Amino acid sequence: MLRCLKIASRLATWPSSAGAARTFATATTSGARGGSTKGLRLALSVGLGGGLAVTGVYLSDEPPYSVVSRVSIPLLHLLDPETSHNLVIAAAKSGLVPRDGSPYSPSLETKVWGKAFTNPIGLAAGFDKNAETMESMLGIGFGFVEVGSITPEPQDGNPRPRVFRIPEEGAVINRIGCNSHGSREVSKRIQAFRDRTADTREGVLGINIAKNKTSEDAAGDYVQACRLLADKADYVVINVSSPNTPGLRNLQAGTELAKIVKRMKGALNEVAPGVPLVVKIAPDLAPEDKKQIARVVLRHKVDGMIVSNTTVSRPGSVQGRESGKEKGGLSGRPLNEASTALIREMYELTSGRVPIIGCGGVSTGLDAYNKIRAGASLVQLYTGLIYQGPALVPKLKRELSHLLERDGFESVDQAVGADTRVKKGFFSRFW
């Protein structure tokens, strides 16, 4: 009860401090069109509802994340997607999110690039674009968190509205366009996070970087951001696959990708030797493009791939929905099967020699498990959180642990690539 009162007191006083008030005001008004009174009332109701949900955690027999998810998701969905996202970021920045207290499962431990992961479930880039919520997101149970995409210079992204929910499909279409505070500002936040967690080194942190929209020197942009950010990262991601930056996906072509990789490798050797370099690719690739990417990855010793980004294709079920014809990248359940198929294909094209982070449509433990069996060493999600909230993360871990045990795998490692034609040998064991 004492803890409950402390939380309630904190919620009651949170907006009264200058910093928190600014955060809350920005979150509630930036997404409400025209700063309307209706939008503000809705935002405040979500803030109050979220506060009651957190307080209610201590008066309920349910796990904290279940209460918060059950109460807050319907309230957040009263708002437009970007406003509700801003509110979630504001709450996470202030520590108003539950921590995962579920039992620890040794079978979920894994090691990639010589780094220990407590579990293979990670937060994909796009949720925390400006590195504001890392501790909170690790606290809800993720084994790793990827921030970004971060551009060298600040940019606003595309005009609003630019995010659209498709709840019937568990999907989202976005055309945000890499809105970013810029690498200098974000670098300071990440350094502060590293300083705060120096003793514990909690979780694994990936930093995803992209070029500025108007830049004509893509490789130069990646290198500029890399020099500011890479020494604070556990791995660095080159985003060459967002569909919302004009011309970006052209950088996946063999020669263009090779140029960027070579320059990034040089920069990493100077500022952060040993930090793994990862390439994030699109799901909408022609067969020859996939082969070219695999050749570049192997020839230039790229350390990993994220498979995949959002898709510009629209399955029939999505097209029939109200927002289904909006332009932008589609994420969520409709992407799941295509992304898993591409994981299997890229794993086979690289003979299992390059670790893959599977991303796209993960909303159940089975989705994550299928991606691991297809060749993913790690798995990421984002859209699933929009519909299931923080309860999703411990649920995925429970389900994944059960599936591994059911099929006789003692660890995630043993299941990687189980459904492919690649024979586990020297490279698949030691990469």
Catalytic residues: 242
Contacts of range 164-169, beta carbons closer than 8 Å, 24 or more positions apart: 164/81, 164/323, 164/326, 164/328, 165/77, 165/81, 165/323, 165/386, 166/318, 166/321, 166/322, 166/323, 166/324, 166/332, 167/77, 167/387, 168/321, 169/317, 169/318, 169/321, 169/324, 169/332, 169/333, 169/334
Q: In whole angstroms, what separates CA 354 from the centre of its chain?
A: 20
Beta-bridge partners for 237:
208, 278
Give the Cβ contact number of residue 201 at 10 Å: 11
Q: For residues 44 and 66, give the distance between their C-alpha atoms in angstroms, rounded to a whole number.
A: 22
Q: E strand or H helix at 208, and its extent?
A: strand 204-209
CB-based contact 331:310 (threshold 8 Å):
yes
Count CB-CB contacts under 10 A for residue 426.
8
Q: 384 near 360, Cβ under 8 Å?
A: no
Question: In whole angstroms, what is the distance from residue 415 CA to residue 417 CA?
Answer: 6
Residue linked to tokens 């437009």: 80
Please state, in angstroms and rounded to a whole number, the distance separating the CA atoms of residues 124 and 392.
Answer: 14
3-state secondary structure of 331: strand
Residue 6: count of CB within 10 angstroms of its CB: 11
